[in-house]
A and B are shown apart, each in its own frame.
Chain A
Amino acid sequence: MKEIKFDEKELPVIEKVIVESIKTRVLKANAKGGIVALSGGVDSSLVLVLSKKALGKNLLALIMPEKDITPEKDVEDAVKLVKKIDVDYEIIEISEFVEKFSRVLKRGEREEREYSIYNLKPRIRMIINYLYANTLNYLVIGTSNKTELLLGYGTKYGDLAADIYPIGDLYKTQVWQLAEYVGIDAEIVKKVPSAGLWKGQTDEEEIGYTYSQIDSVLYSLVDLELSVKETSLILGIPEEAVYDLYIRVVKNEHKRRPPTITKISKMCLDKDWKYPVERE
């Protein structure tokens, strides 16, 4: 599975393509800049660095830790990065909002409630993102990558809520490569990936496979258009495991689309009507 990795000579071009697309999108939206929610992980760090190249001073990093859940090291790494590349930032602690919203919830078993509260956290961060974005006339620059988008490993209207996904066509493996190329500290690049929803959470443990396995499987299914069986044979990964990932991709299509509109007229807005976003 060599192809999934970028050749060295591809990296500068990929970087340029992403920077160019961020710059144009902000300009065409008549926005003044961009906001990146910075966790101290590799995805948001990469998006921040690329956004800095595209937008210069017109960029704000929001660091939104949760008390006793977010490792201090993450906040330290995030602050170190914004200082290193000279980006304006705010640190906003979200625990009080999590607590208040949690108190509203009066239904469900304990486990169900806990699960919803995990998803509440990225939604609170989303609210803060857009609070700042509206005020400053900035766009929210999303940090989801292709692996997450395919698996639906993100919270709808939470971390998935953004105006653009500049690294949404890069697998995690490729994110690591590009992050290293643009000079992000090894401490961040080599960090064990975590969505930070509970203490000690790691993505790989939660999903049940390593990113290297996941990316090889997804690349084979999506980019090479191979079947579950073929993918299993080529990669030497059990068919059940490949099928499990395949089903996650299928089930999560809804997270990659705006809500479906019921067609009544000749011009249903998500079906018959096709207009660019960068219109006027």
Chain B
Amino acid sequence: MRKVRVSLLQLSTKLGKIEENYEKILNGIEYSLKEKAEIIVTPELATIGYGSGDIYLDKVRENLEVLEKIKKKVKDFYLILGYMEEDSKGFFYNSAALIYNGEIIGNYRKVQLVNYRLFDEKRYFKAGNRMPVFKTKFGKIGILICEDVWFPEPPRAMALRGAEVLFVIGASPFERKKDEIWINYLKQRVYDNILPVCFCNQAGSQEGIVYMGFSMYLNARGEIVCKGKLIEEDIVIFDLDLDEYKRIRRRDIRLREVRKEVIEDLLRACEEMENEGN
């Protein structure tokens, strides 16, 4: 059976506190390696901290320096690290780097930026448009960032590209019933794609917002195998089963039956919606 030990670092990273966040990430890595983790995951924008503030613009360079420093510390394991990316044109992205042996071997940009209620991501970030999967020695993985998994399309694209597990890094605040909403979304994505999902969320309080924590591993059957504490920092370590999804897919053939014609019509529907009123 293909198993890989995963560690979800449910950290209380803070907006703009680059050094503090760096220390927390390093400590988390150190602890996880002692526990023999092979894939280590941080929350969304872990280097620079999640929140909403122009401090992103002031700290982007320091956050990139920390990314370089962390890269060098990654030897024989994989790290999925949330950070703020800057492209050659000077545009910013809410991104995740997949790091292995000192190199970024994959990079993902959040495709569904959040701009309702307390969220203001479009003030700073440009949305990504690609939903790749990345090859690791354990298998192909997909990485999603928070809101991305509240939409069916990004996980679906990754599943079709052969992802064997989805990692979701988040910074979701606590509010009433939010834990139930997250469970519902994550389960739904497992059912849609018949894949295990690992969710790593920020914890701790900042500016009157308390991040939910509640990181979790759902197996390919949609069962919650383990989960982190609500609100508090935690590290969730488990052995991820990478074969189970194939056993389920022998008879649950829905992913195989996804029809191009249906998706083409979905695209037409999108265009109709966009053109409405034009």
A-side residues, CB < 8 A to B, are 6, 10, 13-14, 16-17, 20-21, 23-25, 164, 273-279
Chain A CB within 8 A of B87 CB: no
Contact indicator B14/A10 (Cβ below 8 Å) = no
Contact indicator B55/A25 (Cβ below 8 Å) = no
Given A13-B230, A17-B231, are A279 and B55 neighbors across the interface (CB < 8 Å)?
Answer: yes
Taking A13-B231, A276-B52 as known contacts, 17 extra A-B pairs with beta carbons closer than 8 A to each other, sorted by chain A number, are: A10-B176, A17-B174, A20-B210, A20-B231, A21-B210, A24-B204, A25-B205, A274-B53, A275-B53, A275-B54, A275-B55, A276-B53, A276-B55, A276-B206, A276-B207, A278-B207, A279-B55
Main secondary structure of the interface of B (DSSP, over half): loop
What residues on A are CB-neighbors of B16 within 8 Å?
276, 279
Distance in angstroms from A51 CB to nearest chain B CB is: 14
CB-defined A-B contacts under 8 Å, sample of 5: A13-B231, A20-B210, A25-B205, A25-B208, A274-B123
Bound complex: CA A273 to CA B54 (Å): 7
User: B230 — nearest CB in chain A belongs to which residue?
Assistant: A13
Bound complex: CA A274 to CA B57 (Å): 11
Chain A CB within 8 A of B194 CB: no
Chain A CB within 8 A of B132 CB: no
Chain A CB within 8 A of B51 CB: yes
User: A274 — nearest CB in chain B belongs to which residue?
Assistant: B54
Task: Give chain B interface residues in 201-244, CB to chain A under 8 Å.
Answer: 204-208, 210, 230-232
What residues on B are CB-neighbors of A279 within 8 Å?
16, 53, 55
What residues on B are CB-neighbors of A164 within 8 Å?
208
Distance in angstroms from B39 CB to nearest chain A CB is: 29
Distance in angstroms from A26 CB to nearest chain B CB is: 11
Distance in angstroms from A264 CB to nearest chain B CB is: 19
Distance in angstroms from B239 CB to nearest chain A CB is: 29
Which residue of the partner chain, among A6, A10, A14, A20, contacts B205 with CB atoms under 8 Å?
A20
B interface, size bucket = 20 to 34
Which residue of the partner chain, among A6, A17, A273, A278, contacts B210 with CB atoms under 8 Å?
A17
What residues on B are CB-neighbors of A277 within 8 Å?
207
Bound complex: CA A273 to CA B52 (Å): 11
Distance in angstroms from A241 CB to nearest chain B CB is: 27
Contact indicator B205/A276 (Cβ below 8 Å) = no
Bound complex: CA A258 to CA B238 (Å): 48
What residues on A are CB-neighbors of B53 within 8 Å?
274-276, 279
Chain A CB within 8 A of B37 CB: no
Contact indicator A278/B231 (Cβ below 8 Å) = no
Enumerate the 6 nearest inter-chain pairs by beta-carbon distance, A residue then B residue, closest first. Answer: A24-B205, A276-B53, A21-B205, A17-B210, A20-B205, A274-B54
Distance in angstroms from A31 CB to nearest chain B CB is: 15
Bound complex: CA A14 to CA B176 (Å): 8
Bound complex: CA A17 to CA B179 (Å): 14
Contact indicator A274/B52 (Cβ below 8 Å) = yes
Distance in angstroms from B163 CB to nearest chain A CB is: 33
What residues on B are CB-neighbors of A17 within 8 Å?
174, 205, 210, 231
Instruction: From A16, A23, A164, name the one whose CB has the most chain B CB atoms within 10 angstroms.
Output: A16
Chain A CB within 8 A of B15 CB: yes
User: B17 — nearest CB in chain A belongs to which residue?
Assistant: A280
Given A277-B207, A278-B14, A279-B16, are A16 and B231 neighbors across the interface (CB < 8 Å)?
Answer: yes
Bound complex: CA A21 to CA B232 (Å): 12
What residues on B are CB-neighbors of A6 within 8 Å?
176
Instruction: From A6, A17, A274, name the one whose CB has the most chain B CB atoms within 10 angstroms.
Output: A17
Bound complex: CA A273 to CA B204 (Å): 25
Bound complex: CA A25 to CA B15 (Å): 14
Bound complex: CA A21 to CA B205 (Å): 5
Bound complex: CA A16 to CA B211 (Å): 12
What residues on B are CB-neighbors of A16 within 8 Å?
230-231
Bound complex: CA A21 to CA B210 (Å): 7
Instruction: From A6, A16, A25, A278, name the one whose CB has the most chain B CB atoms within 10 angstroms.
Output: A278
User: B58 — nearest CB in chain A belongs to which residue?
Assistant: A275
Which residue of the partner chain, among A10, A14, A21, A274, contacts B208 with CB atoms under 8 Å?
A21
Distance in angstroms from A24 CB to nearest chain B CB is: 4
Which residue of the partner chain, among B51, B204, B207, contacts A20 with CB atoms under 8 Å?
B204
Distance in angstroms from B208 CB to nearest chain A CB is: 6
Contact indicator A276/B51 (Cβ below 8 Å) = yes
Which residue of the partner chain, among B52, B174, B176, B206, contacts A278 with CB atoms under 8 Å?
B206
What residues on B are CB-neighbors of A275 within 8 Å?
53-55
User: A23 — nearest CB in chain B belongs to which residue?
Assistant: B205
Bound complex: CA A238 to CA B145 (Å): 47
Distance in angstroms from B51 CB to nearest chain A CB is: 6
Bound complex: CA A276 to CA B14 (Å): 11
Distance in angstroms from B232 CB to nearest chain A CB is: 8
Distance in angstroms from B139 CB to nearest chain A CB is: 36
Which residue of the partner chain, among A10, A14, A24, A273, contacts B206 with CB atoms under 8 Å?
A24
Bound complex: CA A223 to CA B35 (Å): 45
User: B229 — nearest CB in chain A belongs to which residue?
Assistant: A16
What residues on A are CB-neighbors of B123 within 8 Å?
274
Bound complex: CA A85 to CA B53 (Å): 38
